[in-house]
Amino acid sequence: MDKETHLNVLIVEDNPGDARLIEIMLHDCPQFDFRCKKADRLSFALDAISASAFDVVLLDLALPDSFGLETFTKAKEATPQTPIVVLTGNDDETIALSAVREGAQDYIVKGQFDEKQLVRAINYAIERQKTVLQLHTMSFKDELTGLNNRRGFMIKADELLKISRRSTGIFTIYFIDLDGMKRINDTLGHSEGDKALIDMADIMRKSFRESDVLARLGGDEFAAAVVLESSADAGTVKERLQDKISKLNGSDIRSYTLAASIGCAFCSDSCSGLDALLEMADEVMYEEKKKRRNAPL
């Protein structure tokens, strides 16, 4: 049987005999082409992880430079999306179980597995990790637009806020509310309303940078978290959004007119957090919406 699938494996084990035995078992597997790299110190393993991508890490928790659950924690922090299978001895199963509770995909007891069991543990770990990552993505994404949902936005925007406090940039929140969504839903149907939401999400992707955090907060409300060089740039971003909305309306691809009210708020030295900034941006947006409603035709 040809080995059509190759898998990169990092074996982190300080016992040369154990590491060599695992390597031989994987080499003899007829279904997969396992390409192994070995490290006998956690520091060496972390260097390998930073230099290359691995499909799975086989990790001994008792290493010369790290021991116990701390070994797993450091490895997981270095490569959070890579499945880890813990290698343990008979007297360390309690620690191995703790590692599983903390996110390891499996553990195997050294001296008590054969080639078949080892390969199965690796494959199961890879598949379980894929499922975990898919569920994680789903829990933070808005299903209709593909943007972050409110939960994903709050987590990622808060990370961006912390980063901005260590730089000279100005952390800014945009609050965007689509106008006339009730009319679109009532007269054209909710399928057209969904298209309007998708259109707004696409406009946001084209108007902001990849480093910015974009979200549909719920209903017809959207938000963006950005770091600007100066507060004067805020108006430029808003103009860019409105310009792309106007271009969409001029393209005749929709039977409705898309419109949005946009507010923004800046984080000052006394900024009390993301929730307060969102509320401030929402208030500015609402004032703009009132002006638009009261503007003469």
Tens digits of residue pLDDT in 96-126: 888 988 889 999 999 899 999 999 999 999 9
232: confidence class by pLDDT, cuts 50, 70, 90: confident
Task: Provide the 10 A C-beta neighbour count for residue 196.
Answer: 23
CATH of domain 150-294: 3.30.70.270
SS3 266: strand
Residues of the chain with pLDDT > 90, as a percent, come to 62
State which CATH number among 3.40.50.2300, 3.40.50.150, 1.10.150.120, 3.20.20.20 fits the domain covering 5-139: 3.40.50.2300
- What is the average pLDDT across 261-273? 82
Question: Which tokens sit at 46?
Answer: 């972390």
Q: Which residue has the tokens 């190759």?
A: 6
Whole-model pTM? 0.60
Q: Where in the chain is the domain with CATH 3.30.70.270?
A: 150-294
User: What three-state secondary structure class fits 31?
Assistant: coil
User: Where in the sequence numbering do the catalytic residues fall?
Assistant: 220
d(CA 195, CA 252): 14
Confidence label for 67 from pLDDT (cuts 50, 70 and 90): very high
CB 63 within 8 A of CB 42: yes
**Lowest mean per-residue pLDDT among 28-32, 55-59, 76-80, 166-170:** 166-170
Beta bridge partners of 170: 228
For Cα atoms 87, 90, 95, give the angle at the middle one, nearest 5 degrees: 60
Q: Compute the average pLDDT of residues 186-209.
A: 93
